[in-house]
A and B are shown apart, each in its own frame.
Chain A
């Protein structure tokens, strides 16, 4: 087990294309770190630089305190699960898992013992004599994981391991990976473009955009206190609504209507800007008729015409189209394209209680939880209202829950599984 430290890592390809720019990231010992971002953001390249399959143009990569920039992959003692699993088709499942041990010239008895233990942990025991071509997608995935954990590697690296599985299996494997990592307590770096995976698996999540690290933090910190428009839009589904607003004292004039912000700190953050982008998550809207009086007074109410509603049983989405000034609309469109969602029109997505009877096509009263909105600078796209104290608080809570979770996972694991990492 080891910590992984990246200092100003740069990757420039032969044609000068900068895939990764000045990334500094600290993965602590035993931590589950997620690298997330839309396709082409350099997350896979970064992972491949950690494992040594990609050269580092400049910067320093430390694993367990040692600089490994020039160390060959086989000497880094890391194990990796590839997106397409990269199982050896000519070997049985047993030999696939045993492959790293055989290379390390491990005595036969020990190979047998450790492969059996790993197979048991991953429920592969009855498949040990089969070839990978006879396995299902989920089983192949588990074999790839078996090959990774059979060795006492310093860290596990996952390169989008679930993207080849169907949705149901993906959910199961996600929990499986999470449980396994907590149980073994091995430093893990996991690359994905799926923000659900990022949120559910990671102790901390690093968001990348075009090779530049945007924000690192616990999933909650990313969700509640994003540093800029990109992170705010990327994390969360459906994504945060961005409304252009002109500032008028303590009031914001948005295309959805004029409402008051009662928070002094947020108003102060606006400074002398005339125009800001207001970020409101869908769930921070509510049907005003369903909001109690006490709660009502803590937010503001607007009137808007709802275009379409989608009733899902446990909740309800409403779509509210609006007109935005041309330049800001273009900026928002660029952003949505970058987030791989390519929205055609500027509209707000609103999540309502399933009991709401708002009718599409009519004007409706919507309550906004103004305490939880964020204000962004349209020029720099920075979050003006990020609360550092709250971030620190969230990170502390995440840290505690992680420790507790690990403790809980390890205790019942005194069986055969725990010895895989610590024989």
Chain B
């Protein structure tokens, strides 16, 4: 009796949360399939006439396509560089005993807690002076520095989980420290590396503050910032549907990445390494 009741409760709560989180997304998807004139004139959740028009508009706009390229390029580079650094740092933190280890960890934590907005002003001035304003590196650098702490914390937790014997075994088998790291530790930490990479990628992909303040042209403006610059067909028409279509387009890679890697993230690769 008790179990069926608690199960029913679970289902109700889950459904509520599902509706709560999925509804806005679904709404945006629906909007993206409506004609621009339908908004404000016709009531209803579902589009009256399903149309791909908005998507065509979005991909025909230079503003959006160049922003998409910027977003993909900047996020991928920042993720790659950031995770590479974070892997090395986290490994050192997990394995070595060196003075200042706690300092590095608390410093990383401090950066993670630092309000991003307060840095935008100084960065804007600095970037203009040294010529990084409105360039890819101008965004990649702050992304890396704000994504690193989280990646370091995630990865060092993963590295600590890997039995040290694994590495010692590799060394006895004839591996250099680097070989042991690359052939044994990194593959074992792969789920952790993926998690860190995905988190970093999302952070860069979703950023708006840096994107809008440190860019001024199509040179480096990423998608979230570019969406703010969309204009309608005419002065009297709001570009709501086109923005929604663009939003759907930029959400798709995120969904794909999560679907692709969720099993790898969850799977405990270390099972079977030591006696179960």
Name the B residues within 8 Å of A164 (CB-CB).
Answer: 275
Q: A53-B172, A88-B184 are in contact. Are A137 and B273 (CB under 8 A)?
A: no
Name the B residues within 8 Å of A74 (CB-CB).
Answer: 171-176
Q: Select which of A73, A79, A88, A89 is within 8 A of B168 by beta carbon.
A: A73
Cα separation A99 to B166 with both chains bound (whole Å): 12
Which one of B57-65, B99-107, B197-205, B264-272 is at the A interface? Answer: B264-272
Query: Is B172 in contact with A78, judged by CB distance below 8 angstroms?
Result: yes
Number of residues on chain A facing chain B (CB within 8 A): 33
Q: Select which of B170, B171, B184, B275 is within 8 A of A137 by beta carbon.
A: B275
| B169 contacts chain A at the CB level, 8 A cutoff | yes
Q: In the complex, which residue of chain A has the Cβ closest to the Cβ of B97?
A: A14
Cα separation A73 to B171 with both chains bound (whole Å): 6
Name the B residues within 8 Å of A84 (CB-CB).
Answer: 163, 165, 274-275
Q: Distance in Å from the Cβ of B176 to the closest Cβ of chain A? A: 7
| B253 contacts chain A at the CB level, 8 A cutoff | no
Q: A82-B165, A103-B179 are in contact. Are A88 and B273 (CB under 8 A)?
A: yes
Cα separation A86 to B171 with both chains bound (whole Å): 12
| B187 contacts chain A at the CB level, 8 A cutoff | yes
Query: Is A147 in contact with B275, judged by CB distance below 8 angstroms?
Result: no
Q: Select which of A86, A133, A140, A151 is within 8 A of B169 by beta carbon.
A: A86
| A290 contacts chain B at the CB level, 8 A cutoff | no
Q: A86-B165, A89-B188 are in contact. Are A103 and B273 (CB under 8 A)?
A: no
Q: Mark B161-197, 1 if CB is under 8 A from A, else 0.
A: 0010110111111111001000110011010000000
Q: Which of B163, B173, B184, B273 has the most chain A CB atoms closer than 10 A to its own CB?
A: B173
Query: Is A132 in contact with B171, judged by CB distance below 8 angstroms?
Result: no
Query: Is A140 in contact with B275, judged by CB distance below 8 angstroms?
Result: yes
Name the A residues within 8 Å of B269 (CB-CB).
Answer: 89-90
Q: In the complex, which residue of chain A has the Cβ closest to the Cβ of B168?
A: A53
| A72 contacts chain B at the CB level, 8 A cutoff | yes
Q: Which of A60-101 contact B (CB under 8 A)?
A: 72-74, 77-80, 82-90, 99-100
Name the B residues within 8 Å of A379 (CB-CB).
Answer: none
Q: Mark A102-133, 1 if CB is under 8 A from B, else 0.
A: 01100000000000000000000000000111
Q: Which of B63-82 contact A (CB under 8 A)?
A: none
Q: In the complex, which residue of chain A has the Cβ closest to the Cβ of B175?
A: A103
Q: Which of A82, A85, A89, A132 has the most chain B CB atoms closer than 10 A to its own CB?
A: A89
Residues of B at the A interface (CB closer than 8 Å) are: 163, 165-166, 168-176, 179, 183-184, 187-188, 190, 269-276
Residues of A at the B interface (CB closer than 8 Å) are: 51-53, 72-74, 77-80, 82-90, 99-100, 103-104, 131-135, 137, 140, 147, 151, 164
Can you name 7 extra interface pairs (CB under 8 A) apart from A84-B165, A88-B273? A74-B175, A78-B172, A82-B168, A99-B173, A104-B174, A132-B273, A164-B275
